[in-house]
Amino acid sequence: MLQEAVGRTSSLMARLNAATAAIRDDRELLVGRVSWLDYRLYLVRMYGFHAPVEQVLAGHRALTAVVRDAGLRNHKAALLAHDLVALGADRRDLMQAPRMALAGALELPEALGWTYVVESMTLRNKLVAQRLARHLPAEIQRASAYLRCYGDEAPTRWRELGGALDTFAQGRAPGHASYVEHACDRVLDTARDGLLQLRRWLGPVLQPRTTQRHA
């Protein structure tokens, strides 16, 4: 109960980070998988994640009222398409790539939760690029627009998102405090569920290869 009470006095971004820390632990991502085919599979799966999420978030007016640059952030599927084409994929085939199932229209708290999920990838991606560059220098050089999204500004964009989420959580107009608290809980629930769904979606590239030893 004490931990819950302390959590409710923290900023929304701090609560999100604490609630999803274990889920965001992706040290096993692409472990033991260092071929360009493994990398392309990862990009295909991420394309199948970002494309439906961006479609749902696009044009969400209430979202842009909270996250002012939401429209500028909503472009990662295009970066993934660029990288996949650079690795030899046919752009027309991307329309047939498997996509993660996602509910249709989202209310604002759910849209904020999914925005957190999407943006949480940007800090991790720089580390993934550094890891893969040791094994796939040529591929990463020409096909890492997605992994290098935001470049050196990634930490700044992450802090700006946190500020927007915290401002949303502090918008307690008279008579609306209970609504905002409930909305924050929905943001948290959506972020947790979204990250779990993403981990399941990335299952094929999360585990190391198993090698069979012949007697």
26 pLDDT tier (thresholds 50, 70, 90): low
| pLDDT category of residue 126 using cuts at 50, 70 and 90 | confident
The per-residue pLDDT for range 90-117, each reduced to its tens digit, is 988 898 999 999 877 789 999 999 999 9
Nearest residue to 100 via CA among 194, 20, 207, 24: 194
Residue corresponding to tokens 């027309």 = 92
User: Does the pLDDT at position 22 exceed 70?
Assistant: yes
Task: Specify if 104 maps to a domain.
Answer: yes
Residue 10: inside a domain, yes or no? no
Whether residue 69 lies inside any domain: the answer is: yes
Q: What are phi and psi for residue 200, nearest 5 degrees?
A: -65, -40
- Number of structural domains (the chain) is 1
Which pLDDT score is estimated for 45?
Answer: 93
pLDDT of 77 reads 97
- Residue 3, in any domain of the structure: no
> Residue 130's domain spans which residues?
26-202
Percent over 90 (pLDDT), the chain: 60
Q: What number of other Cβ atoms are within 10 A of residue 190's Cβ?
A: 21
Interval 140-146 mean pLDDT: 95
Of 115, 14, 8, 103, give the one whose Cα is nearest residue 62: 115
State the Cα–Cα distance between residues 118 and 42, nearest whole angstrom. Answer: 15
pTM here is 0.87
137 in a structural domain: yes
- Give the pLDDT mean for 149-157: 93
Looking at residue 78, which CATH number applies to its domain? Answer: 1.20.910.10
DSSP string, the chain: -HHHHHHHHS-HHHHHHHHHTTTT--TTTTTT--SHHHHHHHHHHHHHHHHHHHHHHTT-HHHHHHSTTHHHH--HHHHHHHHHHHTT--GGGGGGS------SS--HHHHHHHHHHHHHHHHHHHHHHHHHHTT-HHHHHHS-TTTTTTGGGHHHHHHHHHHHHHHHHT---TT-HHHHHHHHHHHHHHHHHHHHHHHHHTHHHHSPP--PPP-
Any residues with CB less than 8 A from the CB of 102 and at least 6 apart, and which?
52, 53, 56
